[in-house]
Amino acid sequence: MKNGLRVHYNQEADFLEIGIGKPVKGYFKDLGDDIFERREEKTDEILGYAIFNFKKRTQILKDISIPLPRKLKIMPA
């Protein structure tokens, strides 16, 4: 699962995390509006996104579509 996509939602915390590839050590960069970009420590490569208050956001949207600040290119393994 080198380039797989992982999605995890914690209902109690209302927190959605989208990960790209295998989990590796990284840090979160605050993009504002409760959206965080997860980056790899050594290469600064984007590893995914974390969105707080996800359910609150989806209640005002007709579908579950939150534009992310970056375009992702996921290659098949």
What would the pLDDT profile of 9-39 be if each residue is shown by its tens digit? 998 999 999 998 888 899 999 998 899 999 9
Average pLDDT over residues 66-76: 59
Q: Give me the domain span that covers residue 30.
A: 5-59
Count of domains forming the chain: 1
The answer to whether position 23 is within a domain reads yes
The answer to whether position 66 is within a domain reads no
Between 67 and 24, whose confidence is greater?
24
The answer to whether position 72 is within a domain reads no
The answer to whether position 49 is within a domain reads yes
Confidence (pTM): 0.69
The answer to whether position 48 is within a domain reads yes
- Three-state secondary structure along the chain? CCCCEEEEEECCCCEEEEEECCCCCEEEEEEECCEEEEEECCCCCEEEEEEECHHHHHHCCCCCCCCCCCCCCCCCC
**pLDDT of the residue at 5:** 83
**pLDDT of the residue at 1:** 41
pLDDT of residue 8 exceeding 70: yes
The answer to whether position 68 is within a domain reads no
The answer to whether position 26 is within a domain reads yes
The answer to whether position 46 is within a domain reads yes
